[in-house]
Amino acid sequence: MSVRHDPRHRTLRPQLRRRSSSARYGAAAAASVVAISAALLASAETAQAAALPVPMGTAEPFAVLGGTGITSTGTTVINGDIGSLPNPTMTVTGSVVLTGTDHRGDGVTATAKDDLTAAYLNAAGQTSDFPILGDLAGQTLTPGVYTAGSGISISGPTPLTLNGGASAVFVFQAGSSLITSPNTSVVLTGGVTACNVFWQVTSSTTLGVNSTFRGTILTLSDSTMNTGATLEGSLLTRNGAVTLDSNTFVRPSCATPVTGGTTTVTATPVTTDTGPATGGQVRRVPVGSVDAGGGGTGSITGRLWSS
C-alpha cells in the first residue's frame, strides 16, 4: 500500500502541523521575552540616570558672577559676561581681557543673581543616582546625579572622564567644598558638552594651579581659581567673592554666543548712574578713589549706565 493512502499517515499530518506551529510560537515567545527584558533594562538605566539640565535663565551668558566683588591678579582672559552684586567692586592687579559685557552692579546682574539662586536650588534638589565615596581623579563616569556627603576632590594626575552622548547630563552635588589639585583635569568624551555639566557646591570652590576644569560651577560662598587654571564654562558665586589669578575662561561652543566686544580692564572703575546720557554717551561719575598710576589697583562702587 502506498504511504499516500495509508490512514496512519493521514492522522500523523495534523500532529506534525501542530508540533510545527507550537515550535514557531515558542520561538516567537522567547524572542518577545528577550525584547521585553532588553527594554526593561534600558528603562531601568534611563530611570537611574535621572540628571536633568539645570535651567540657568539670565545667568547663562555670564562667565563670572560674584556676590562680594571680584579680584584679579596677572592677566586673566574671560570669554563671557561678568557681574557682581550686592558688592560690584572689582580690583585688578594686571589686566582682564574681557570678551563680553561688564554688568557689575546693574539690573542685568540683579536678575542673573536671582536666576543663579534658582539654578543652585534646582541642582541641589535633584535626586541622587550615585554616591561619591572618594577622590574623582582617574574615574570614568556615566550620566547621572552624583552626591558627596562632604567635599568633592580631584587630586590625582589621571583625569576625571565624563563619558556619554551629546544629550548626556551630569550633576555633581558637593556637601561642602569643591577642590582640585594642581595640573588636574576634567575630560569630556563621547559627545558630552560643558553646557550639560553642573557642579553645585555648598561652601567654596578652589581650582588648582594650571588645572583644567569643565562645566558650570554654582558656589554658595567664595570661588578661587589659582594661577593658570582654565575653566570651560562658568564660575557663578551666590554670596561670596571671586578671586582670579592669570586664568582663562573658555566659552563652550554649545553656549549662546558672546556679545559686547572685547575690552581690556586695568583699573576697573564701576560708575554710578546719574541719569540718562545724551548722544549715546556713557556717563561715568566715580565714587571713591582710583589709583591708576604705576599699574596699581583701583575700585569704585556704584553702577554703570549707558543709553
SS (H, E, C) 43-111: HHHHHHCCCCCCCCHHHCCEEEEEEEEEEEEEEEEEECEEEEEEEEEEEEEEEEEEECCECCCCHHHHH
The closest of 267, 264, 263 to 296, measured between CA atoms, is 267
Pairing mode, if any, of strands 62-79 and 81-99? parallel
> Who contacts 167 (Cβ-Cβ below 8 Å, separation ≥6)?
196
Concatenate the DSSP letters of all residues of 154-195 into one string: E-SSSPEEEE--TT--EEEEESS-EEE-TT-BEEEETT--GG
Q: How far apart are CA 68 and CA 3, in angstroms?
A: 100
Tens of pLDDT along 142-169? 999 999 999 999 998 999 999 999 999 9
For the chain, state the CA radius of gyration: 29
Helix (H, G, I), strand (E, B) or coil at 257: coil
Reading the block at residue 201, the C-alpha cell is 557646591
What pTM value is reported for the model? 0.74
Q: How far apart are CA 93 and CA 84, in angstroms?
A: 18
pLDDT at residue number 48 = 52
231 and 269 in contact (C-beta within 8 Å)? no
> Who contacts 81 (Cβ-Cβ below 8 Å, separation ≥6)?
61, 62, 63, 64, 100, 101, 102, 103, 108, 258, 260
Tens of pLDDT along 43-94? 434 445 589 999 999 999 999 999 999 999 999 999 999 999 999 999 999 9
Report residue 24's pLDDT band, with 50, 70 and 90 as the boundaries.
Answer: low
Domain ranges of the chain: 3-48, 57-266
Tens of pLDDT along 109-144? 999 999 999 999 999 999 999 999 999 999 999 999
- Give, in order, the Cα–Cα distances in Å from 20 to each of 13, 15, 16, 26, 307: 11, 9, 6, 10, 85
202 and 174 in contact (C-beta within 8 Å)? yes
SS (H, E, C) 275-303: CCCCCCCEECCCCEEECCHHHCCEEECCC
